[in-house]
Structure 1
């Protein structure tokens, strides 16, 4: 299969899991611990994709100086999170039904106190503008599409086929995308937006990945081979920085608030990380 067929299939699968992730708030009761285990695994896969695939390949293609673009990618996404507060998958503290109306504000003031040992209550989404969240996540997804396309392009440049890097970045994207979609739909439903409109917005949000991939290839096609390779190296490094920012923003806020779940969360994190290490074995020597 050609490079464009492969990236089209990857994008279609990512769109599919994103749409499924948007259905989760309507179909599932999510607890804090379940969500954190999933996010730990996803974050581990993104860390592994950055360190085992994207950064090494960007250096091989563009030289050691290419790593500087990773710092820019990390800072750009960090500033998006700071000013738009979009990358907040964690719903707020469980609210007891008897105190839902009376103590709502008090519970939110203590949303990081997760020292309990059970998760009997469903979780409530945080107070956050769904429009702001969707904008920030859309930008994040465009960058994700660039990351996916640049990984596929780099594998074809080096090996003439799909290798471990493209698989690794694809898996990391597939694992993380449902959480972003869940955030968008949850916030819209909480704001009273009709479910049909929420799913339409989620569809548009899911399509940001193929749009990002298309933008990358449109840029590459206009360049000569030497400049195209340099652009691919820069895109890989920049995207690796965004992967690092995303994974750390999922992991670090909960580092001090899950002493009772530390073993489960650590196993999930390492499982995702070593999954990416394993896929690096498919890289050409």
Structure 2
């Protein structure tokens, strides 16, 4: 059957890029600004995937009320971030190579404010693992929705896959960087990263097996709800990447805005595959 084969291929590629992302802290010296350009581009792809791929398909499959699930997804991931604070991407100890005469340590410790405690790798790994399970559901629901609507895997599944591929290396880099910073052996860090990478296929498999056990008249609205929920999580992830940096890169505003728009436009272009 073509759907499991395509879904497996997508998952295998995502696992591969996640493992490569985990190698970045050992192989690359990535400045804070360059990382933010990359994250802005990845955030743009996730915004575009949510608005041009996932939400329109969810509404078409399940009706306007399905959009409510997007709010649930956004709130669920926000609360996960609130209590586990896993969504912080820094490849190395805070040693930014800014040459613009400004202090950018992300402490935000103005008088009366509380500085967030250091992020532990265990907390980050748990939060990112749950987030990746949801990402697997997003990918599987997109593939199933495409197949239900077009009889094939089309532009929407491709868009969700591309947005996931773009963002996954940053999450892997977070886990490995935090483990190395805490003094964990490199082998253990990469083993944990492998387990994290496998959360995407696990989430996809759980959705695919679960939806296959439902009657068609139940499976379709459930797929629509999962797609809308996943769109909400994509919105939360993308905004959590770009909003904290909004007031700290005044000198790079064109560069970062261009990267965000480029990622967004890539998803707009990919959406043309659905109409074709």
Residue in structure 2 matched with residue 248 of structure 1 by the alignment: 239
Q: CA deviation at 1:110?
A: 5.2
Q: Which one of the candidate residues 145, 150, 154 is aligned to 1:163?
A: 154
Give a deviation string over 1:86-132, Cα, whole Å, max 9, x none. 01114564279xxxxxxxxxx8975469xxxxxxxxxxxx9311000
Q: Distance in 2 between matches of 1:229 and 1:278?
A: 27
Deviation at 1:221, TM superposition (A): 1.1
1:150 aligns with 2:141: yes
2:176: which partner in 1? 185
**In structure 2, what is the equivalent of residue 116 of structure 1?**
none
For 1:64, the equivalent position in structure 2 comes to 64
Aligned to 1:8: 8
How far apart are the structure 2 equivalents of 1:44 and 1:14? 18
Residues 137 and 206 of structure 2 are in contact (CA less than 8 Å); yes or no, is this contact kept in structure 1? yes
Alignment of 1:190-209 (within 5 A): 190-209=181-200
CA separation in 1, counterparts of 2:31 and 2:105?
19
TM-score normalised by structure 2 residue count: 0.92
CA distance in 2, matches of 1:108, 1:277: 34
Q: Structure 2 CA distance, aligned partners of 1:18 and 1:71?
A: 28
Q: How many residues align?
A: 263
Deviations 1:238-273 (A, max 9, x none): 000000000000010011111110111111001100
Give yes or no for the alignment of 1:277 onto 2:268: yes
Residue 219 (structure 1) shift: 1.1
Counterpart-to-counterpart distance in 2, 1:256 and 1:186: 25
**CA 93–196 in structure 1, closer or farther in 2 if over 3 Å, else same:** closer
Q: 1:148 touches 1:169 (CA, 8 Å); kept in 2? A: yes
**CA offsets per residue over residues 201-258 of structure 1, 9 Å max, x none?**
0000000000000010111011001111111100000000000000000010011111
* 2:101 pairs with 1:141: no
Q: TM-score if structure 1 supplies the norm length?
A: 0.89
Contact 2:74–2:232 at 8 Å: present in 1 too?
yes
Structure 2 unmatched runs, 5+: 98-102, 110-116
